[in-house]
Amino acid sequence: MLAPARSWSSIAPAVVEPLPLASLEARNISAWFGDHQVLDRVSLSMPAGVITSLIGPSGCGKSTFLRILNRMHELVPSASLAGEVLIDDRDIYSADRKLVDARKSIGMVFQKPNPFPAMSIYDNVVSGLKLTGTRASKDHRDYLVESCLTKAGLWKEVRDRLRSPGGGLSGGQQQRLCIARSLAVKPRVLLMDEPCSALDPTSTRVIEETMLELVNDVTIVIVTHNMQQAQRVSTQCAFFLATQGKPGGIVEFGDTEAMFSEPIDPRTYDYVNGVFG
């Protein structure tokens, strides 16, 4: 007699106490590409369990700042930086912190969905485990796939085709697959660089709903050029600006609704109201 089939949900591993939500803090961040300085002494607190949006016109250093937050800036040969990035008061750039530890703690979702196209949906989700040297049993991998796809709002759409190529999904589904892949290594912070800019309005709405659900489990920092999106999803907001010939910096930072309804700096008012940008 055949043994009864297992449901995916029945293979959850023993409950592990989750880590508390993480706070992230940047202190006096300056950044260069060769001799060209792109950021000048930027400091920003990103509290635990909150969505922080970074807004501002192109070329003001938002995406560079975001990449500094998980040590991607150093991948550019000419890049350099000064300052500190602290997660729970520990600098991710200190000599005793391994690069892989920073990447596991602080995940990244990019502007353009970038699943491994020929790799299956299942293997896309668990691919981060191999890259970070994380061992996991088959049962645990199965559990991760279901739980991460569920958190990313994709499980019900793909549960019957987990062995199909990730590249066969729609753009919005591919972006949610990338979110699930990031979640599989259990990051405490998730960075999102314009995650909806290549998506249609319906997919954008789904991604925004996903973010609002995920913030209960992970601290989120998002770069967006969509002012309505910043208002819809973020609790706090930082407005970056680079004046001609000078590196980028933060003009104003605070509660999102206050920044949009009663900004302190006239440049913030002009930007959020479409005078420039």
In the 3-class helix/strand/coil scheme, how is 138-194 assigned residue by residue?
HHHHHHHHHHHHHHCCCHHHHCCCCCCEHHHCCHHHHHHHHHHHHHCCCCCEEEEEC
Architecture (CATH level 2) of domain 21-111+188-272: 3-Layer(aba) Sandwich (3.40)
pLDDT of residue 1: 39
- Name residue 57's amino acid: P
Spatial neighbors of 119 by CB under 8 A, at least 6 apart, are 127, 165, 166
Give the model confidence (pLDDT) of 41-96 as tens digits: 999 999 998 999 999 999 999 999 999 999 999 889 999 999 999 998 899 999 88
Domain boundaries, given as residue ranges, for the chain: 21-111+188-272
Q: How many helices (H) and strands (E) are present in the chain, helices listed first?
A: 10, 10
- pTM to 2 decimals? 0.89
Q: Two tokens at 35?
A: 């001799």
Task: Using alpha carbons, select from 170, 175, 169, 172 the residue that is nearest to residue 113.
Answer: 175
pLDDT of residue 18: 60
DSSP symbols for 76-87: STTEEEEEEEEE
Per the listing, tokens 């479409």 go with 274
How many whole angstroms from its chain centre is CA 144? 19
In Å, what is the CA distance from 18 to each residue of 15, 153, 169, 217? Answer: 9, 21, 31, 9
Q: How far apart are CA 41 and CA 10, in angstroms?
A: 50
Angle between helical axes of 138-151 and 171-183 (0-180°, round to 10): 130
Q: Which residue ranges in the chain fall short of pLDDT 70?
A: 1-19
Q: How far apart are CA 193 and CA 87, in angstroms?
A: 19
Characterize the bridge pairing of strands 24-33 and 219-223: unpaired
